[in-house]
Amino acid sequence: MSAPNLLQVKDVSQIYKTGPKAFTAVRGINLTIQEGDFVALVGPSGCGKSTLLRIITGLQPASEGSVLYRGKAIDGVNPHATIVFQTFALFPWLTVQQNVEIALKARGVGPTERRERSIALLDRVGLDGFETAYPRELSGGMRQKVGFARAMAVEPELLCLDEPFSALDVLSAEALRTELMALWQSGDLPIKAVLMVTHNIEEAVLLAGRVVVMEKEPGRIEAELRNPLGYPRLPKAPEFVMMVDRVYGTLAGTTQPEHVEMGTAPGQPGRTRGLPEININGLGRMLESIRDNPNQRADIYDVARELSIDSEEAIALTEAAELLGFAVISQGDIALTPTGATFIESSPADRKPLFAARIERIPIFKWLLDRLDATPAGEQWEDIVEELAKDFPAEEAEHQLDIIVTWGRYGEIIQYDDSEGVISRAVAA
Amino acid sequence: MLRLNRIFAPAHPVLRRISGADAVIVLGIAATLWALAKLAAQAPTVIRGPDLSLEPSALPVYAGLSIARMVGAYILSLIFTFVYGYYAASNKRRERVMMPILDILQSIPILAYLPVVVMSLTAILPLGFAKEFSAVLLIFTSQAWNMTFSWYQSLTTIPAELREASRVFQLSPWMRFKSLLLPFGAIGLVWNSLMSWAGGWFALMVSESFSIGEKDYRLPGIGSYIQLAAQRQDTRAITYGVLVLLVVIVGLDQLVWRPLLAYADKFRLDMVSTEAPITSWVYDALMGSRLVRRFRRRIVRPAAERIDNQMKRLFPVRMEFPHPLRPSLVGRFVTGAVGTLIVVGVWEGIRFLGQVSLADWGHIFLGLMVTFIRVMLALAIALAWTIPVGVAIGTNARLARVLQPLSQMAASFPATALYPLFLVGLLHVRGGLELAAMLLMLAGTQWYLLFNVIAGAQAVPQDLKYTAELMGLKGRQKWTTFILPSLFPYIATGAITASGGAWNASILAEYTTFGDTKYSTAYGIGAMIARSQDKNLYPQLMAATFAMVAAVIVVNRLVWKRLYQQAEETYRLD
């Protein structure tokens, strides 16, 4: 007998329209959460996982499809769901206790009961003695505890966590994860299911019974992986590492033929491939770390651990390596290509022309370089953003140009004059 | 202190490209001016003033009347702020229309339309009421805009997650206002209120003692008292008047604004504690008092609980998705009606302006140029002393502690109250009126600059100061490569407001009825406006007023905003 369905997401799409242009944030999402589920939503930045969370909690309506809660379509904020926010979202001018009480007050609980219940909840998360403190006096971990206490105050059935540990230091995050798990497993909370958005794959595997992997452009669900590991889970255990590796593998995908991988130029039919935001020096470090493995082939997860970077950064780096033709990815493994090997064998100065030669092949770069060649005086930043905005949402267009300029400056093929706002071809030294 | 100074600096929206909306707004202003000038033509040409007493015993009543006008206008400003700011911030389409309107309104020198507003009000309302109302209206226009900007900006910068939290936790509209919007806007609102009161006193002094030729619009109040005392050269009365005004301003500062500032400090958003919080002895005394504590516990808290519950019933939580706003039939009708009125107004206005001769236009243009030069001169003089003094205060913590509160107090003392005294002292000197006019303009500009320079000097990071020292920067080089560039954004911000203040002062400064004699500078747009009112030349009145408004808007757009934007982009230190 399967547990009753708590939440069903049916064919949900979110499309933002600005004038004649439309951008798909997420498309064709189907997801079911049953009582007793702890689901983690992972994916690269820009895959729409936060958007999906907001649709599920009823903070924003989906442009297509429906969200059913206990079989009934929601048409606004779901009163049985609550959110723990990444930045805590505490009212800075209210004390810890008032922050919890305000949630109770909104539900019409009287002053005396409000006080008792909020004090009991704060005890429960280990904040006794801090009732009259203001959030600014607390550490990040303690602030998030207030966030949890406030969320539990409204006795939700569906607890949604929006990257709840990513703004915390490593130790606080670890402690808080353990406490969350203890609370969840104790079973004496009214919470029926947990949905957690995270970009940290280890965290997802540590906590969740099911990992939903999302992909971007457009945001969609790539796979749902059941996590069979029993509790307590030990991050060092081989089964654990294998599970993390599986998620990495799903997330990193498989390198496609070049024309698919690189997409089309802006303004052309077809998908324009956005560039991932990376630290270019980190790219070299990652490639070096792959080289030091047998067959110049490594587990992405191993590489991430060796460089002590989180999975979001690791995925962005692998994506960049793929796009530049420095590495290929299949089944969670990343392997150096001959080009990639040449790149890291070169001196820092020699890497630049190599890097430049690679990025010149990417359609979005080619497009920009052609434009710049046609106008030697250079182009205005705003004008390029406007062009890019035909293929990306406004903010992302700006972001993409930022990345393009950073890469182009590194490759010494583009220069940008900030005071004039002009992008132009770099003059050969 | 640093943060607070930056809030004290006025809000300026980013430079927009000049849009169609701007043109419509300017045309709307033209249409309004025409309607007002048309009305003004019906106004009585001779108005008798009140019988004022110079007895010191009359002063408490006068002070009370002055404060009442200020409070009335402030309440109006607050209501306007909440409503206008909220509506502008809550909808993108409304924002696109409402913010440019506000932007232009705040850049118009309010004293420019004092004459035409006063006259048209006396045409349609009973005289006594019209005078009071125009005083309140004038103060309102000097208070409301910056408060509204601050409120709007606070609303638009509330973090998305806090907004979402208030929705997820189902706060009622009232609770949202009370626990999210109001605390979020509190600091900006209180500081801007403080600034608005200073501006309000400035306007109040003018409107209480406003008279032109045979039209005596004076009102019983401190402003008219000081003016009359100066006219009669009654030293005792002058002393009493200035003293009472000083007591009122310092009293309000200590009893109302300081405690409010100390209280608002609670609503700081940054999650770190500051090293130098605002202190107020009144606030400390209130907080320390057992009586007050008991009052809060026994009366305030239960009352607040009841109000909250009542408001929740009145304005229940809305959980459903908001419906997208569609242009309603009423909205279209209103837009159409306003559009028609503007078209008619502009058309009639142009015909009306046809009565202005070419020679008059020439005078208006010449007047504009002369006033512009005066404004620039006042600004230059103000810069010359505020930069060295401001840097001295800003880089010396001990000096800052002593001088900053003093200068803030000095800034809230209205220069317009002292204007009659300048006149008494200078009128018999050759070029005395010119000098008095410059003094008044200077008084209207310098404080904004000083505060901004101080804030700028305080904002320079310590590391940069060390670097400058290590590099051995000295003298001229230190100023040109280090101090001036760091100050530039702050000076630009200060200069925008300061030039606004100077234009404002020109109306009063260039043309004055003092006793039974009229004094006027030979040229100047302010003098043009006042003279045409005095001589009942309505088309000229409209032409001159519109010319001044248009000139200020153009200068703002072409000079100040550009400078400001460049400052923001190039010399920002954070």
pLDDT digits 0-9 by tens, A219-239: 888 889 998 888 888 888 889
Q: How far apart are CA A427 and CA B16, in angstroms?
A: 33
- Which among B341, B333, B334 is positioned nearest to B32, based on CA atoms? B341
Which positions in chain B touch A137 (Cβ < 8 Å)? 273
Higher-confidence position of A345 and B117: A345
Out of A327-341, A398-412, A413-427, B100-114, least confident range: B100-114
Q: How far apart are CA B245 and CA B226, in angstroms?
A: 9
**Chain mean pLDDT for chain B:** 81
Mean pLDDT to the nearest integer, A29-35: 91
- Which among B437, B440, B456, B439 is positioned nearest to B389, based on CA atoms? B456
Out of A104-113, B59-68, B423-432, least confident range: B423-432
Q: How far apart are CA A304 and CA A308, in angstroms?
A: 6
Higher-confidence position of B395 and A281: A281
pLDDT score, position B2: 34
Higher-confidence position of A410 and B320: A410
Query: pLDDT confidence of A19, banded at 50, 70, 90?
Result: low
Mean pLDDT to the nearest integer, A404-429: 85
Out of A163-167, B3-7, B12-16, B508-512, least confident range: B3-7
Mean pLDDT to the nearest integer, A18-47: 85
Whether residue A67 lies within 8 A of chain B, CB to CB, comes out as no
Mean pLDDT to the nearest integer, A87-106: 90
Q: How far apart are CA A247 and CA A212, in angstroms?
A: 9
Whether residue B235 lies within 8 A of chain A, CB to CB, comes out as no
Do the chains contact at A76 and B318, CB–CB below 8 Å?
yes
Out of B113-127, B205-219, B264-278, B391-405, least confident range: B264-278
Do the chains contact at A81 and B308, CB–CB below 8 Å?
no
Do the chains contact at A89 and B161, CB–CB below 8 Å?
yes
How far away is chain A from the Cα of B566, in angstroms, using its nearest Cα? 8
pLDDT score, position B81: 93
Higher-confidence position of A308 and B266: A308
Q: Which residue of A has its CA nearest to B565?
A: A419
B-contacting residues of A 83-122, CB under 8 Å?
83, 85-89, 91-94, 102-103, 105-108, 111
Give yes or no for residue B437 having a pLDDT over 90: no
How far is CA B497 from each of CA A385, B109, B448, rounded to the nearest angstrom? 33, 10, 7
Do the chains contact at B164 and A59, CB–CB below 8 Å?
yes
Cβ neighbours for A109, distance < 8 A, ≥ 6 positions apart? A117
Query: pLDDT confidence of B271, banded at 50, 70, 90?
Result: very low
Which positions in chain B touch A94 (Cβ < 8 Å)? 179
Whether residue B14 lies within 8 A of chain A, CB to CB, comes out as no
Q: Are A38 and A206 in contact (CB under 8 A)?
A: no
Query: pLDDT confidence of B6, banded at 50, 70, 90?
Result: very low
Give yes or no for residue B509 having a pLDDT over 80: no
Q: What are the tens digits of pLDDT across the range A145-194? A: 999 999 999 889 999 999 999 888 888 898 899 988 988 888 778 889 99
Higher-confidence position of A59 and A420: A59
Whether residue A72 lies within 8 A of chain B, CB to CB, comes out as no
Q: How far apart are CA B392 and CA B399, in angstroms?
A: 8
Do the chains contact at A106 and B172, CB–CB below 8 Å?
yes
Place of tokens 């690791």: A314
- How many contacts does A have with B, using Cβ atoms within 8 A? 78
pLDDT score, position B515: 66
Give yes or no for residue B560 having a pLDDT over 90: no
Give the strand order in the sheet containing A81-84. A81-84, A158-162, A193-197, A38-42, A210-215, A220-226
Mean pLDDT to the nearest integer, A236-258: 85
Mean pLDDT to the nearest integer, B126-139: 88
Give yes or no for residue B505 having a pLDDT over 50: yes
Give the strand order in the sheet containing A5-18. A21-34, A5-18, A64-69, A72-73
Which positions in chain B touch A112 (Cβ < 8 Å)? none
Mean pLDDT to the nearest integer, B552-559: 80
Cβ neighbours for A277, distance < 8 A, ≥ 6 positions apart? A45, A316, A399, A403
Query: pLDDT confidence of A52, banded at 50, 70, 90?
Result: very high
Do the chains contact at B272 and A137, CB–CB below 8 Å?
no
What's B574's DSSP letter? -
Do the chains contact at B272 and A136, CB–CB below 8 Å?
yes
Q: For strand A193-197 and strand A38-42, is the pairing parallel, antiparallel, or unpaired?
A: parallel
What's B11's DSSP letter? P
Give yes or no for residue B320 having a pLDDT over 50: yes
Mean pLDDT to the nearest integer, B328-342: 80
Give yes or no for residue B570 having a pLDDT over 70: no
Q: How far apart are CA B135 and CA B127, in angstroms?
A: 12
Whether residue B45 lies within 8 A of chain A, CB to CB, comes out as no
What's B519's DSSP letter? E
How far away is chain B from the Cα of A409, in angstroms, using its nearest Cα? 20
Q: How far apart are CA B136 and CA B139, in angstroms?
A: 5
Do the chains contact at A92 and B273, CB–CB below 8 Å?
no
pLDDT score, position B11: 43
Place of tokens 């059941």: A226
Q: What are the tens digits of pLDDT across the range A345-358? A: 999 888 999 999 99
pLDDT score, position B270: 59
pLDDT score, position B10: 41
Give yes or no for residue B275 having a pLDDT over 60: no
Whether residue A73 lies within 8 A of chain B, CB to CB, comes out as no
Q: For strand A297-299 and strand A327-330, is the pairing parallel, antiparallel, or unpaired?
A: unpaired
Q: What are the tens digits of pLDDT across the range B465-481? A: 778 778 877 777 877 77
Q: How far apart are CA A392 and CA A388, in angstroms?
A: 6
Share of chain B above pLDDT 70, in %: 91
Whether residue B329 lies within 8 A of chain A, CB to CB, comes out as no
pLDDT score, position B550: 85
Number of C-beta neighbours around residue B415 at 10 A: 25
Q: What are the tens digits of pLDDT across the range B90-109? A: 877 788 778 888 877 777 77
Mean pLDDT to the nearest integer, A70-98: 90
pLDDT score, position B8: 39
Q: Which residue of A has its CA nearest to B274?
A: A136
Q: Are B70 and B137 in contact (CB under 8 A)?
A: no
Q: What are the tens digits of pLDDT across the range B276-315? A: 566 778 888 887 788 888 888 888 888 888 888 888 888 8
pLDDT score, position B72: 94
pLDDT score, position B520: 72
Higher-confidence position of B182 and B434: B182
Q: Which residue of B has its CA nearest to A58?
A: B321
Q: Which residue of A has its CA nearest to B162?
A: A89
| Burial zone of B120 (CB within 10 Å; 0-12 exposed, 13-18 middle, 19+ buried) | buried
How far away is chain B from the Cα of A60, in angstroms, using its nearest Cα? 7
Give yes or no for residue A403 having a pLDDT over 90: yes
Bridge partners of residue A211, in order along the sequence:
A40, A225
Do the chains contact at B169 and A82, CB–CB below 8 Å?
yes
Mean pLDDT to the nearest integer, B336-357: 82
